A and B are shown apart, each in its own frame.
Chain A
């Protein structure tokens, strides 16, 4: 760049004026090109511009009751304005002594996908582009290798007798890989076993999406769209409130319903009763009964995630009348007797 021969020349005033002008022109054109490059930012929605209130809002776990009320009021204000509704925004906390478990009866599921659509309606997922938490696989008989499942089956009637149907959604793992990888603790496991996301804290790196072995997490690549008349106005902070673009979302076992004794929307929509849900710590609950009595398995047991979502089959040959059920925990003792 330089083959410097050192020669002493003092810059003349004329030279310095010309070089000043040249620098000025360079800097001015550089600045204007820079501003021109940023021009698409004019199209930013007023709602998309980060606010001081949003910036100051704390992580969910750090918010006191007052701060939570402020946050809920802000969410209500934004949702009401955007969707012209009168929403009810709450923060529903987990109950003591509850651990939720889901059980899905593969002998019964007919693959009608009613659960998928009930979930979308309840949880305010984007309709365009479509975001769904439940994926139903049409499986050929004789395998549980999900890679052989058909995601996009489209039949005039279901079920097809040569197939069985396997819905997959968040397994609410007891050892969740998605929680481990989050760099900002925007996702965590609650005391009742539900893994939740603070949509106001997520930075959108999608590491959790890469970590999930069940493909249970979804990302809002663009601004989610929900027609005003389809919005469910009963919303909660950690579950079904409308999400902004650029954050993750996932199934929360409908915690705004289930923590108050109701059943998840997908379960209520199931026409054949293939879906069972409840508190596994309660020995009288239906799920506790299923885990004791049925032929239960979990998906991808080998990845060590300890799912709280169990698949089971009905017994083809019910055990003889009067014979007690095998308690898997005490099976050996029972056999010895």
Chain B
């Protein structure tokens, strides 16, 4: 009972802290809130008028929502690329950073769940999933299981570590190390299962390829750590949190190798589709060169390839030790991979339709707003999680310290000076 009250107090204090920050923080949070609410407004319109408010059709029945979902599953899985070096290769530079990877995973999975929900025609019937669950036949039910399981795993791991730091207790290995190892396998599973969603459809030759799951993982392990690199750079530059220089180098290497593998797999895919010249490759022809005068996706895929290639070149040059260039490369490859998975993988599988009809897809403004809203919501969650975690890990927000939520009067009060200084996490 006391423990529960203590935990509630912890959550309440975190909530207060999440409102404290300098003007940049407030500007960022306000902007995200505004965009998230615009997205909510667009979704309310979609609820009233139906999915017809999106640019979808019976020919192209999945679009931006599922594309973003797929991309974000990858971002969530990428946390594992920080966990593996630390817990398997004992790379201690990254140790404290693992928790940021896991916080990113939490935010990304929440975004995934939001994207799947807005894609449903009847979200009001959500409970049918609990009442008649087509497991293990439908791959979608596997995805529901692995995504929610991954969310719980990560919530447990970072929640436990952060709360221990807050209570100034040394975390018991038994309570989190086994979960860390389960989460490593689980991270691979979420993106593999998501790939199987598409790969398992015999009627969609463009997806019906065994290379999709490895491609998903490679691109995720490039985009996720790239996002973390930029995040850590922001923390390092604008807060008092210090990121060890070696951590940047390790992450950059991970991104570079993953991007190289991703580009290689893309080349394998393109060769198979085009050299064999079979009917199998019609969607690929539409994607890369256009078909019968239709070429809406051509500019997208070539800009993705351009962005990824340039990012790779920058990362391979010694020049990229400069943070500005490294950040630029990271942002380029995040956008490049986002396009590759959305406009480059989800949409072309529907064009031409199974009966050979070509209907192109153009997202509507309302649909785009919903997507932007979910992204803003996810970034909001991620920012709050990071905002709260930093002072806790630094020992400035602990059970025995009052922390004023007002940034201008930043006044942690040490109640008991006899207390030892906060312990650093193992």
Q: Tell me the A residues contacting B by CB distance below 8 Å.
A: 1-11, 15, 19, 23, 26, 30, 33-34, 36-41, 43-44, 48, 50, 55, 59, 129, 131, 135, 137, 145-149, 151, 168, 177, 180-186, 201-207, 209-215, 217-223, 244-247, 300, 303-305
Contacts and interface: CB of A to CB of B under 8 A. Distances in A.
Contacts of B202: 177, 213, 303-305
B138 A203 contact: no
A36 B41 CA distance: 8
B120 A203 contact: yes
A37 B41 contact: yes
Interface stretch (B44-52, B216-224, B310-318, B319-327): B44-52
B1 to A, nearest CB: 28
A223 B50 contact: yes
B140 interface: yes
B29 to A, nearest CB: 11
Contacts of A218: 58
Of B122, B203, B238, the most chain A CB neighbours within 10 A belong to B122
A245 B46 CA distance: 12
Interface in B123-177: 123-129, 131-134, 137-141, 144
B181 interface: no
Contact of B404 (A11, A181, A247): A11
Interface string B370-394: 0000000000000000010011000
Interface in B204-223: 204
A41 B44 contact: yes
Interface in B44-91: 44-45, 47-52, 54, 56-59, 61-62
Given A34-B37, A39-B41, A183 B140 contact: yes
Contacts of A305: 202-203
Given A201-B125, A210-B201, A43 B48 contact: yes
Of A2, A201, A205, A207, the most chain B CB neighbours within 10 A belong to A2
A245 B203 CA distance: 26
A41 B48 contact: yes
A47 B38 CA distance: 26
Interface of B: 19-22, 25, 33, 37-38, 40-41, 44-45, 47-52, 54, 56-59, 61-62, 116, 119-129, 131-134, 137-141, 144, 197, 200-204, 238-240, 279, 282, 349-350, 352-357, 387, 390-391, 396, 404-407, 409-414
A300 B333 CA distance: 39
A6 B119 contact: no
Contacts of B404: 9, 11
Nearest to B45: A40
B40 A59 contact: no
A184 B58 contact: no
A215 B140 CA distance: 20
Nearest to A26: B19
A181 B138 contact: yes
A210 B204 contact: yes
Contact of B132 (A39, A59, A207, A303): A59
14 contacts: A1-B407, A33-B37, A38-B40, A38-B44, A50-B124, A148-B356, A202-B121, A204-B51, A207-B140, A212-B354, A213-B204, A215-B59, A222-B51, A303-B202
A9 B353 contact: no
Given A38-B40, A147-B282, A184-B133, A246 B355 contact: no
